[in-house]
């Protein structure tokens, strides 16, 4: 135990040498124990540097010494892992948020015209005959009104659909494949989730879906749908699958 404690103290000393010029005397590696001690110090420093952008080395040493001596511990031992995990999760969330903000900015720079085109299309479409608009901004036309039941968010439905960009480019079509699709209402894009719950089984609607109710700035990479695309779907609700 004494040897382990000595090794740990050497590790801590080496970790903070760059910030405390008088704290450690540089030594050469003469024995196997010297090499192990130095290697442990390097490994700890590497992991700390990789995991923490902000780090109070003085408190790090204080926590180490207090725990080693079992004296003046400022945090209950049972809470230590939770504090570390909470911090790491917060850092990861902030990293993901920053990455998403950067990706969104880049998408807006590259596909801003796409966003404007969709907004213009929907603004002009809203006044056309038969077009209804929901509070969310979803636009639709009733092509055929069915008489069956209306699905709920938790329902499974069987549909035929034909999807295009606003320029008419087809990106997906069960009609073209000649085979209807089945899926849960809550498993699709927000515009579909809302639109399907407006329909009765046997109905056929045409949806004009704003980009924010479709795939927004991040559609599937390499697909026909581009960032900020407003989408047009003809959807026939064949049945609610029991």
Per the DSSP assignment, residues forming a β-bridge with 241 are 156
- Which of 40, 61, 141, 189 is catalytic? The answer is 189
Structure tokens at 162: 């034909």
Long-range contacts of 111-117 (CB under 8 A, 24+ apart): 111/217, 111/226, 111/227, 111/228, 112/228, 114/226, 114/227, 114/228, 114/229, 115/211, 115/227, 115/228, 117/166, 117/230
Known catalytic membership, residue 205: no
Residue from 121, 205, 228, 233 carrying the catalytic annotation: 233
Catalytic residue among 140, 161, 208, 228: 161
C-beta of residue 173 within 8 angstroms of C-beta of residue 87: no
Centroid of chain to Cα 225? 19
Catalytic residue among 121, 205, 215, 228: 215
Angstrom distance (rounded) from CA 152 to CA 198: 9
Q: Which of 111, 172, 183, 225 is catalytic?
A: 172
Q: Which of 52, 60, 64, 171 is catalytic?
A: 171
- Helices of type H across the chain: 2-15, 32-51, 57-69, 80-125, 174-177, 190-196
Active site residue 171: yes
233 is catalytic: yes
Is 172 an annotated catalytic residue?
A: yes
The residues annotated with a catalytic role in the active site are 161, 171-172, 189, 215, 233
């Amino acid at each position: 135990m004494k040897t382990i404690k000595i090794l740990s103290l050497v590790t801590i000393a080496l970790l903070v040498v760059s910030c405390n010029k008088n704290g450690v005397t540089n030594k050469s590696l003469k024995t196997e124990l010297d090499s192990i001690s130095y290697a442990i110090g390097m490994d700890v420093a590497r992991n700390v540097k990789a995991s923490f952008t902000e780090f109070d080395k003085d408190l790090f040493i204080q926590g180490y010494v207090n725990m080693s001596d079992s004296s003046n511990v400022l945090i209950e031992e049972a809470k230590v892992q939770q504090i570390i995990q909470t911090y790491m999760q917060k850092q990861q969330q902030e990293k993901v948020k920053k990455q998403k903000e950067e990706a969104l900015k880049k998408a807006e720079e590259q596909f801003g015209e796409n966003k404007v085109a969709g907004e213009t299309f929907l603004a002009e479409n809203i006044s056309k005959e038969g077009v209804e608009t929901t509070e969310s901004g979803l636009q639709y036309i009733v092509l055929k009104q069915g008489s069956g039941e209306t699905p709920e968010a938790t329902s499974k439905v069987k549909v035929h659909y034909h999807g295009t960009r606003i320029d008419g480019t087809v990106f997906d079509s069960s009609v073209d494949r000649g085979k209807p699709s089945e899926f849960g209402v809550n498993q699709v894009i927000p515009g579909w989730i809302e639109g399907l719950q407006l329909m009765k089984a046997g109905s056929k609607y045409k949806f004009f879906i704003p980009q924010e109710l479709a795939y927004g700035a991040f559609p599937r990479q390499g697909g026909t749908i581009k960032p900020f695309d407003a989408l047009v779907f003809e959807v026939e609700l064949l049945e609610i699958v029991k």
